[in-house]
A and B are shown apart, each in its own frame.
Chain A
């Protein structure tokens, strides 16, 4: 029962949940962000366990790399002198917790109750990246291009939003 796979999953899952909780519960925003980076990395590990190496790579590059850095920049730009007590709960904590718990229970219930149509053999293909590329530049080329445009627009939008507004005279 306790083979390597299970143990690895248990450890990764524990760490993942722990770091995610850390993101939410840390009272210092910097600590929060550190835990976030950990979460992203651990997520990449999970992907690897699911035989999605390419996705794991993307996860590392985009999330653990770019997004974390961006968040750090944001923290830096919005920081105040004292970084303690920068990441507090609001007045909705208890209802929020209840709702979150209920959502979790609901999701779990769905997961457990649904008779999943599990394939006989998991899809494991070393040439996955080729197949993905084929799909991306074949069947899904239009969404791909749209996402590209979206990224461009987001880029410009982010610049404009973050741009210093000159005080008008």
Chain B
């Protein structure tokens, strides 16, 4: 019997993997992509909860739709930023982008 907990643990694993990607990859694209994995993990949670707990409507799925929409927008802007970063510095390695200091 697959319960809510299984899905949530799966979601937690995916979230952790995404987080690891965000924290430890040099490539800006991978970092962005890893956040997408984290967002997907969240969506998974929302939908699972909607199924197992949310008896009075489809709010969880609706929320997931909104998350997807925002995530799409975010990817669009994020990739735009990455491209412009690349244009300016000829690299997208985040180690080179450290002027946000002092």
Contacts and interface: CB of A to CB of B under 8 A. Distances in A.
A135 interface: yes
Contacts of B58: 123, 125, 128, 131-132, 135
B12 A108 contact: yes
Contacts of B2: 5-6, 9
B74 A29 contact: no
Given A96-B23, A128-B58, A162-B83, A17 B29 contact: no
A3 B1 CA distance: 8
Instruction: Report, as a range, how many residues of chain A touch the other chain.
Output: 35 or more
B81 A151 contact: no
A30 B86 CA distance: 17
Contact of B30 (A17, A32, A159): A32
B44 A43 contact: yes
Interface in B5-32: 5-10, 12-21, 23-27, 29-30, 32
Interface string A12-37: 01001100110110000100110010
B10 A74 contact: no
Nearest to A160: B80
Interface string A103-138: 110011001100011110111110010011001100
B70 A118 contact: no
A70 B20 CA distance: 22
B82 A78 contact: yes
A62 B71 CA distance: 10
Contacts of B14: 16-17, 20
B92 A90 contact: no
Contact of B15 (A104, A121, A155): A104
Contacts of B24: 24, 89-90, 92-93, 96-97
A135 B57 contact: yes
Nearest to A95: B23
11 contacts: A50-B47, A52-B51, A59-B68, A63-B40, A70-B75, A71-B33, A87-B26, A96-B23, A103-B15, A107-B8, A119-B54
Interface of A: 3, 5-6, 9, 13, 16-17, 20-21, 23-24, 29, 32-33, 36, 39-40, 43, 46-47, 50-52, 54-55, 58-59, 62-63, 66-67, 70-71, 73-75, 77-78, 86-93, 95-97, 99-101, 103-104, 107-108, 111-112, 116-119, 121-125, 128, 131-132, 135-136, 140, 143, 147, 150-151, 153-155, 157-162, 164-165
Q: Which 5 residue pairs spanning A and B have beta carbons closest together?
A: A96-B23, A161-B80, A154-B73, A104-B16, A96-B24
